[in-house]
């Protein structure tokens, strides 16, 4: 009898021990899936995603608008109190692309000293070419005013803008007046970054 009773006790203890092995999930216990976001986080309070490292590289949106010579005159009038540096370029012009980062650098370096940088693309104004030009400007983080000439072919555009010697071509204005043009030399040499930056500094130091 004692053996029978002890057998029953042993069976009951074993059953209780087995029941306690699997503890239920406790309230507030967090389960983190593969994406790293807590499945139990309150709505609107999920862990933030890692920001793209390029998101804060520039300041402001990069845009590309059409412009003609009259529109450019109006633009100069809007910046009477600034030194305006204009970069005439094109997507097919390799020297233009090589030197364009300097234009971006100067726009940031001298902005608080009174420099306004403007770029004008001499590309054809069809949708595909405009898209290519805008992509280039976005990669360069060219957040200053960017325009594309309102002409269907290069010769017409160059003639309308009075550009001799091809691209790249640069101009410097102060108080709406042309200070200097920078064109290729007869042997095809583009203006050097040192020459351009020196001219920018001189124009800024000359004041109004």
Backbone φ and ψ of 64, nearest 5°: -135, 115
28-68 pLDDT, tens digit per residue, is: 333 333 333 333 333 333 332 222 222 223 457 999 999 99
* Cβ atoms of residues 31 and 39 within 8 Å: yes
Q: What is the pLDDT of residue 12?
A: 42
Nearest to 60 by CA among 143, 126, 140, 164: 143
Cβ neighbours of 167 (radius 10 Å): 22
159-168 pLDDT, tens digit per residue, is: 989 998 889 9
Q: What is the pLDDT of residue 20?
A: 35
Residue 151 DSSP one-character state: -
Measured torsion, CA atoms of residues 178, 184, 189, 194, in degrees rounded to the nearest 10: 10
Q: What is the pLDDT of residue 59?
A: 53
CA–CA separation, 116 vs 128, rounded Å? Answer: 28
Residues 6 or more apart whose CB falls under 8 angstroms from that of 182 comprise 169, 170, 171, 172, 191, 195, 196, 199
Q: What is the pLDDT of residue 57?
A: 35
Cβ neighbours of 148 (radius 10 Å): 22
Residue with tokens 């406790």: 26
CA–CA separation, 7 vs 175, rounded Å? Answer: 106
Q: What is the pLDDT of residue 58?
A: 42
* Cβ atoms of residues 149 and 88 within 8 Å: no
pLDDT < 50 positions in the chain? 1-58
Phi-psi region of 165 (alpha: psi -120 to 50; beta: other; left: phi over 0): left
Give pTM, 2 decimals. Answer: 0.70
One CATH from 1.10.287.3610, 3.30.230.10, 3.40.50.1820, 3.40.30.10 for 66-206: 3.40.30.10
């Amino acid at each position: 009898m004692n053996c029978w009773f002890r057998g029953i006790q042993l069976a009951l203890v074993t059953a209780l021990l087995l029941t306690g092995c699997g503890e239920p999930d406790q309230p507030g216990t967090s389960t983190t899936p593969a994406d790293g976001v807590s499945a139990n986080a309150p709505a609107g309070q999920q862990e933030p995603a890692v920001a793209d490292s390029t998101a804060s590289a520039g300041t402001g949106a990069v845009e590309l608008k059409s412009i003609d010579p009259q529109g450019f005159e109006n633009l100069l009038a809007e910046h009477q109190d600034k030194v305006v540096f204009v970069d005439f370029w094109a997507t097919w012009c390799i020297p233009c692309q090589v030197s364009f980062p300097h234009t971006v650098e100067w726009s940031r370096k001298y902005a608080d000293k009174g420099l306004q940088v403007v770029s004008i693309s001499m590309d054809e104004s069809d949708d595909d070419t405009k898209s290519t030009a805008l992509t280039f400007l976005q990669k360069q983080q060219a957040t200053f005013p960017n325009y594309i000439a309102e002409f269907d072919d290069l010769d017409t555009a160059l003639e309308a803008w009075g550009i001799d010697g091809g691209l790249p071509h640069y101009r410097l204005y102060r108080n709406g007046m042309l200070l200097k043009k920078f064109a290729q030399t007869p042997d095809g040499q583009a203006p050097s970054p040192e020459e351009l930056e020196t001219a920018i500094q001189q124009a800024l130091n000359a004041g109004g």
